[in-house]
Amino acid sequence: MAMQVTLKDGTALPSIGQGTWYMGEDSSRKREEIKALQLGLDLGLEVIDTAEMYGEGLAEEVVGEAIKDRRDQAFLVSKVYPHNAGRPEIVTSCENSLKRLQTDYLDLYLLHWRGGVPLSETVEGLEVLKSEGKIKRWGISNFDVSDMEELWSLPSGDQAQLNQVLYHLGSRGIEYDLIPWQKENQVPVMAYSPIAHGGKERQRLLENKQLKEVAEEYGVTPLQMALAWTIRTGQVLSIPKAVQEQHVRQNAEAMAIELSQQALDQLDSAFPPPTSKQPLDII
């Protein structure tokens, strides 16, 4: 049975979606990227995450092509640059994203990370966009516990639906305090780079002996095992990027992997959980 994550407003989503970082930056791969996103939708990976930062809008254009004539099958997420998060800039940024995405609304709009604009002003702008129907809901990205507490102290701050942060087997710091805080306040985590970021770091993760052994026991790839691990609690929605058909299919299959306590213990021994507060990992 495929895992799901439930947003604060009750919206249930498949726990694996599709990332788009670096998409659109090589025009020779655009057709392949569009096909990959469409295959993901066919396989139930309905959450597509993008941002105005990715290729300065090029990734949004790829997504726009991919969801043309099937907008209702996608749960569309984009992110605003911190320097565009004030008023009226946030409205302009959102409208530009909507044009590139060829749609008239976003399912979820995130502040990409904190910048110089007061958080209260950003929240006001997000609430205006919501009232105008340009976004259905909003959230944040790269927020630690102190940021979340500050957000919750603001009018309408507790309307944030999720927090997108780096999270994978090799980066577990948020388990110490951020995940518990978010669980208590019914705010799921969206995990970016859920199988690590960059070739060397990913290789080091996927070639771990114990990860390989657990994956072999389950008859899956180390990549699938690492991805299934991120969504094991029902509190995390992971957004791996995939362009090759085989990888898209593997990502979708990972939603059905249920890990035993023994498997979790094996992975804990290879990748120990945090025992103290860690700085938030940000790429």
Place of tokens 């670096």: 22
Q: Count how many Cα atoms sit within 13 Å of the Cα of residue 8 in the half-sphere of its side chain.
A: 20
In the numeric block, which tokens belong to residue 235?
Answer: 């509190």
Q: Residue 54: which residues within 8 A CB-CB, separation 6 or more?
A: 20, 21, 22, 23, 24, 60
CA 112 to CA 205: how far, in whole Å? 26
CA 169 to CA 154: how far, in whole Å? 33
112 is in an annotated binding site: yes
CA neighbor of 105 nearest in space, from 136, 62, 140, 139: 136
Among candidate residues 54, 109, 167, 192, the one labeled active-site is 54
176 is catalytic: no
Q: Residue 48: which residues within 8 A CB-CB, separation 6 or more?
A: 17, 18, 20, 37, 40, 41, 63, 66, 67, 74, 75, 76, 77
Residue 68 and residue 50 in contact, taking contact as beta carbons nearer than 8 Å: no
Active site residues: 54
Binding residue numbers for substrate: 112
Known binding residues = 112
